[in-house]
Chain A
Amino acid sequence: MSSKRLIDDGPLRVKAVLIVLFVLIGIFMFFPMYWMVLTALRPSTEIFSRDVGLIPIGSTTLANFRAVIGDPRIARYMLNSVFVSGSTSVATTLICAYAGYSFSKYRYPGRRPLMFVVMTSQMFPFAVLLLTIYVMMRFLGLLDRYMALVLSYVTFTLPVGTWTLKSFFDHMPDSLIESAKIDGASRVSILHRIILPLTIPGMISVAVYGFVWSWNDLLYALTLITSPERRTLAPGLVMTYMGEFQRHWATMMAASVWVSVPVTVGFVLLQRFFVQGLTAGALKG
């Protein structure tokens, strides 16, 4: 009997190879995550012992997490990042929705070149763009302002966002728009009252994508924000923990886990909506 799976795992030899590969890649993939959490849960003195174990026997503690969460600097960076990522997320979702709708449902000269150009905006070397963006933001008085970050992040998340939403609009039957037109609705209200509400799963994916991108960026945040109290998370973490003479690894691991929580939670949401969005794409009748 042939297997229903892509790799026929009937023969014992195949099964053995699959298991070995599974274990090896599984260790590479998940052991670091496990180690991050485990270190974060250990007393900071214990991790420097030569005989530290690979499994959590002995004492575990939440002290490292308490230290991180209670650190006013980390709280500050977190708040700054929430603001920057939130603004990016809202702005990019709107701009991508309009652009995606335009590319999908309207025809005008220059549409194809424009689509092409928007798609490439993630492919230019970010560090090279930054040379001018830095000078430009300084000239505009936007250096050390969150606006400089939000403008950059919105642009860099345009390609994926626009293409995601465009594919949503592509799946929407033109008859939907036509019948609304016949009912006398204007193009603006068709877009806002009928089309966008149907695209919410896609818009949420794009919003989360924009959020995660801004949350994780180091290069721009490190350069365009200059005062310590305005720093966002990634440069904040680096400046806080790398500058110290003695590295507190347990606290650093706790901080790493702690700053990953918001994006991980957001991603779990994204996954659900992503699936929902795909099924909604099958709406066409």
Chain B
Amino acid sequence: MSRSRNGRTGGRQAVRTGLSDAQFGVVLALPAALFFAGIVLYPFANSLIMSVFDRSLIYPGTDFTGLRNFRRVLSDPNFPGVARNTAVFVSGTTAVSFSLGFTWALILNQGYRGSAFLRGLTLCAWIIPGAAIAFLWMWIFHGQYGVLNLVLRRIGLTSRNYTWLGTRQFAVLAVILARGWQAMPWYMLLLLGGLKAINFDQIEAARIDGAGNIRVLRSIVVPGMRQIIGVTLLIGIIMSLQHFDIIWVMTQGGPARATTTFSVEVYRHAFQNYDLGRAAAVGVIWSAILAVFVLLNLRARRNGE
């Protein structure tokens, strides 16, 4: 249809863009598609293939080794620990940021004065660089002069200082809190959007029937937000599974590997030990786990359309 119109209006421009509408649409989407192919698709496929080769970042050459890298990874006594650390980190950060983010969204959604300002201030935690956030929490958890030790001493809970980041369990807790703090504003923002979309008439009707707050939340608010809660949780989990910055700066995966997650492990194998094949083998296992959540996420979105 538009081809004939272009033909009729004649002009130079119609000649210059002598494409059908469909072709024009493809051309517009082409740069994005090329970027995706070059920076995501090819690297992903190639990284998966790397896992069956013996390949180093410093020595030339690649030898096909079959499943040897996988055997090395799976027989590594540290590997179950990495999987467990990742699971703890992801569930911990998700629990912290979801529960706090949801509660905070509920409070800010009440429309009290200053809510918009507090929302903006909260979001600052999400946009400042992860490296800065890591510095901040290292300082809070500082073993000698950290404010956490200071406060605990002041209120009389303890009389000695804890070296939080040097103790396995506490270090895990510390990176979870730091990452939870960083991600919480993002949860709040999405859930706030979900709360705004809730039909208020339904709530009023329920109130007239004598429903209290808990029942309103349980039978109207949460079911009404099931879609957005699901998508938020899944994207949040995907992002936490990916997380690198804060852990790397705060603990570099330590102490005694207690905070080494998949992303830290891949980075370490590849860029500190220069063993690409082994890094790729960890990456394949990690990707398989990630894929479960990605597929769930995509299905949830499609259902919502």
Q: Is B203 an interface residue (CB 8 A)?
A: yes
CB <8 Å contact, A129 and B127: no
User: Which of B67-75, B76-84, B239-247 lies at the interface with chain A?
Assistant: B239-247
Bin chain B's interface residue count: 35 or more
Which residues of B sit under 8 angstroms from A212, Cβ to Cβ?
127
Contact residues, A23-58 vs B (CB, 8 A): 25-26, 28-30, 32-33, 35-36, 39, 47-48, 50, 52, 54
Chief secondary structure at chain B's binding surface: helix
**Considering only CB atoms, which chain B residue lies closest to A154 in the complex?**
B35
Which residues of A sit under 8 angstroms from B145, Cβ to Cβ?
47-48, 50, 52, 249
CA distance A266 to B216 in the complex (A): 38
CA distance A223 to B151 in the complex (A): 38
CA distance A14 to B41 in the complex (A): 52
CB <8 Å contact, A234 and B124: no
CB <8 Å contact, B294 and A106: no
Least CB distance from B39 to A in Å reads 4
Which residues of A sit under 8 angstroms from B24, Cβ to Cβ?
106, 187
Contact residues, B111-137 vs A (CB, 8 A): 111, 118, 120-125, 127-133, 135-137
CA distance A109 to B120 in the complex (A): 42
CB <8 Å contact, B128 and A127: no
CB <8 Å contact, A131 and B50: yes
B129 touches which one: A14, A233, A268 (CB < 8 A)?
A233
CA distance A106 to B221 in the complex (A): 37
CB <8 Å contact, A260 and B131: no
CB <8 Å contact, A135 and B241: no
B140 touches which one: A32, A134, A242 (CB < 8 A)?
A32
Chain B 32-49 interface 0/1 with A at a Cβ cutoff of 8 Å (1 = within) = 110110111111101100
Q: Is A194 an interface residue (CB 8 A)?
A: no
CB <8 Å contact, A253 and B136: yes
A sample of 11 more A-B contacts (CB under 8 A), given A117-B33, A126-B242, A260-B127, is A6-B110, A6-B216, A32-B125, A95-B35, A102-B26, A117-B36, A121-B39, A134-B270, A181-B2, A186-B11, A253-B135
Q: What are 20 A-B contacts with C-beta separation under 8 Å?
A: A6-B109, A25-B100, A52-B145, A95-B32, A96-B32, A102-B28, A108-B26, A110-B26, A117-B33, A120-B294, A121-B36, A129-B43, A131-B270, A134-B270, A155-B35, A162-B32, A187-B17, A219-B267, A233-B131, A257-B132
Which residues of A pack against B, CB within 8 Å? 2, 5-9, 14, 18, 21-22, 25-26, 28-30, 32-33, 35-36, 39, 47-48, 50, 52, 54, 95-96, 98-99, 101-103, 105-111, 114, 116-118, 120-121, 123-136, 151-152, 154-156, 158, 162, 181, 184, 186-189, 191, 212, 215-219, 223, 233-235, 237-238, 241-242, 249, 252-253, 255-257, 259-260, 263-264, 267-268, 271
Which residues of B pack against A, CB within 8 Å? 2, 5-6, 9, 11, 13-14, 16-17, 21-26, 28-29, 31-33, 35-36, 38-44, 46-47, 50, 57, 100, 103-104, 106-107, 109-111, 118, 120-125, 127-133, 135-137, 139-140, 142, 144-145, 147, 150-151, 181, 184, 195, 198, 200, 203-204, 207-208, 212-213, 216-217, 221, 238, 241-242, 244-245, 248-249, 262-263, 266-267, 270-271, 276, 279-280, 283-284, 286-287, 290, 294, 297-298
